[in-house]
Each structure stands twice: as C-alpha cells, then as structure tokens.
Amino acid sequence: MSTTDRIPLVLDVDTGIDDALALLYAASSPEAELVAVTALSGNVHVDDTERNTRAVLELAGRTDIEVAAGRPVPLLRPLEVTPETHGPHGMGYAQLAEPTRPRSGRFAPQLIVDEARRRPGELTLVTLGPLTNLAVAVLMEPELPRLLRRWVCMGGTFRAPGNTSPVTEWNIHCDPEAAKIAFAAWQASVDRDPATPRALVLGLDVTERARIGTDHVVALARRAGSTPDDSLDPGRAPGDPERRSVASNPVVRFVADTLRWYFEFHAAYDGFYGAFIHDPLVVAVALDPSLVRTESVAVDVDTSGGLGDGQTIADFRRLWGRAPNVDLAVEADAATFLERLVERVGGMAERRA
C-alpha cells in the first residue's frame, strides 16, 4: 500500500488494557498512518496513560509517534479511575520498560486542533476514552467537525445495559459534560452544513460483541512463532501478581500478562473468562467502516444529575426533529475483526522478535 493510500489517524486514549491492544492494532495495520496519540485520564490517571502509551508504542517499534498529554481531570466533575478493571497503573499484570522517547511538549487538545488545521479533511480522530480532550479542542476550534475527515468514537450505550450504571458506559460517565459538548458541536456543524461528516459511534451494543478468549491469544502466539505459554489457563490460581507469561516473544508476553488481569475481571463481574476488547474494534472500524452496519441518528447526552445522568440518548424515531449528527453502529462483524487482530498483531510480533 502506498503512503498516499494510508488513512491518517490521531488516537485519543486513556491507555488501559484494551487501549493497549488498540495501539498494537493501529501500529500493525498497513493502511494506518499513525500521526500522533493523545492521552488523558480515564481508566487510570493521565500520568500513567501517557507513559503506558509511549511504552506500548515502543514495544511495537514505533518510537517515531508523538504522544501528548491532555487534561488530568474532567471538565467539571471529580476524577474517577478504574484500577479494579485495568490494574493499578492500567496494564494489568504486564510490566513494560520505561519508555525512552519523552512525551510531547504539546497540550493534547492543541495537538488535535493543530493537526486538523494542518491537514484539513484528511485526519480521522479516534477517541477511545472520555471526551475531555475533544471537548476542549472543539471549544478552541469550533470548526473542528468540518476540519476532520471523521470522528470515530468508542462511547455510550443505546440498546444495551450500561457497564457503569444501568444506562451509562464508562467513557461517557467519566465526563458527561465533555461528551455533551462534543455531540453538540457535531450537531451544530451538521445543522450549518449538511455536508459535515457525521461522527461514527460504537457503543456497548456492538463493542461487547468483540470478545477475546484464550483461543485467540494462542492463535496470536502461533502466528508470532512464539513458544507455548499456559499463563492464561483458567485452571491456574488467579490473582497471582508474580506469575508471568513465559512466551518467547515479548509482544505475546505483554498481551498475555495484560489480558490475564482483564480475563479475571470479566470472570468475576461478567461471568465469562475472556474480555470485551472495545477499543481495538473501534480502531479496526476507523480503518474499515464496512465492519459495521450503521443507522444515522441524532445523539445527545443527559447531564441532569439524575438516574439517567451520563446516558447517551439516540433519537431513533426522529421525535426531536434534529438532523442526524451520528452514524451509530448497530451491528459489527466481530469474527472478521478478531481474525485481523490475530493476523496483524501476531505478524508484527513475529517481525519484532
């Protein structure tokens, strides 16, 4: 694939476990031009998320990628993090070397604005965490929805139960005011200019169909040419922080060690030994939208503070009379995505060995 055919991406992340897999997927995809990565607080504090991001990119051999940190806290609310889901520093049981490349001196929202202005109509912005950085960027540059090729978002839940409250998804829950600003910006832009690219949103309705299990990790290890590893065997004693993968390949070792924490979390809270890998699916869809079927709808966010606080609301019956600001994913080809994840990350692991 020629460089002119590649898709320029800026990823906005709160790098915990599934963000790390999303970074590996982007770094191993030939059609992706990874322009920069911006980080913020979400799964863990931004000091951890930006360090995790740099370390994962170095593991993938991508020391050329600029990584910038954004706001350490939500716009209005106290910071919440989720170490029980992703581990105390976001990487589960995995331990990566301290990254050698320093983080960027640019402020993450300013980076998003600068790159969009520099390449109008070219960049795809993929948000995998709370929408704080995007909200600040949109307040800095109200034309951002028209400057981007597209905004692709992991966030919300629409026809499925929430994973934070009965009606809310974690990314939106962390900073609902930021999410409301972002969706309102796309609404205003679509209202002014119907040619504005609508946001592409994947909520829990589709991302929870992307389940990774031990068989996928075994397949990835085989693709990488790695020696066998039984660290993910559910029959072994869970919760042992000293147990580490003995796979011969460093990328496979990382994947196994970080996913073991995630698998144990899902076994305790969701009733299956495996994990939803929301964020890599979203990156895969940003690169190939044919992996999902969408419906065009108007989306807004409840910030009332009541029982529905943080809920993403889609007007499926067009009762608001608003123009759609979102292409909402309603079906996803999770099987094809998982095959690509194994092939791409496994192939990159083999090359890195």
Rounded-to-integer distance, Cα 284 and Cα 333, Å: 11
- Which residue is listed with tokens 């011969």? 248
pLDDT score recorded for residue 102: 96
Q: Is residue 168 part of a domain?
A: yes
Q: Is residue 237 part of a domain?
A: no
The DSSP symbol for 71 reads -
pLDDT score recorded for residue 302: 98
AA identity, residue 202: L
Evaluated on CA atoms 77, 180, 170, 71, the torsion sign reads negative
pLDDT score recorded for residue 141: 98
- Give the 3-state secondary structure percentages of the chain, helix then strand then coil, rounded to 5: 40, 15, 45
AA identity, residue 207: T
Count up the domains in the chain and report the number: 1
Is the overall model pTM greater than 0.85, yes or no? yes
List residues bridging with 313 in a β-sheet: 300
Domain containing 290: what range? Answer: 3-210+273-352
Q: Is residue 342 part of a domain?
A: yes
Q: What is the CATH number of the domain that holds 288?
A: 3.90.245.10
- Each residue of 336-353: pLDDT tens digit? 999 999 999 999 999 998
* 122 to 67, 81, 144, 147, 149: CA distances (angstroms): 20, 33, 12, 8, 5
Question: In the chain, which residues have pLDDT < 50?
Answer: none
Contact 250/97 with Cβ under 8 angstroms? no
- Each residue of 104-139: pLDDT tens digit? 999 999 999 999 999 999 999 999 999 999 999 999
pLDDT score recorded for residue 237: 63
Q: Is residue 172 part of a domain?
A: yes
3-class state of residue 151 by DSSP: strand
Rounded-to-integer distance, Cα 263 and Cα 156, Å: 22
CA 218 remoteness from chain centre: 23
Tell me the DSSP string of 326-341: EEEEEEE-HHHHHHHH
Q: What tokens appear for 175 in the block?
A: 């900073």
The DSSP symbol for 90 reads S
pLDDT score recorded for residue 3: 55
Q: Is residue 249 part of a domain?
A: no
List residues bridging with 58 in a β-sheet: none
Task: Put residue 87 in one of left, alpha, beta given phi > 0 → left and psi -120 to 50 → alpha.
Answer: left
3-class state of residue 193 by DSSP: coil
Q: Is residue 152 part of a domain?
A: yes
Is-catalytic flag, 278? Answer: yes
Q: Is residue 185 part of a domain?
A: yes
Q: Is residue 236 part of a domain?
A: no
Active-site entry in 45, 216, 266, 278: 278
- Which residue is listed with tokens 């080809």? 333
Rounded-to-integer distance, Cα 103 and Cα 66, Å: 7
Element housing 231 (H / E): none
Rounded-to-integer distance, Cα 84 and Cα 278, Å: 17
Task: Put residue 286 in one of left, alpha, beta given phi > 0 → left and psi -120 to 50 → alpha.
Answer: alpha
Nearest Cα to 35, choosing from 24, 27, 43?
27
Q: What tokens appear for 27 in the block?
A: 């770094």
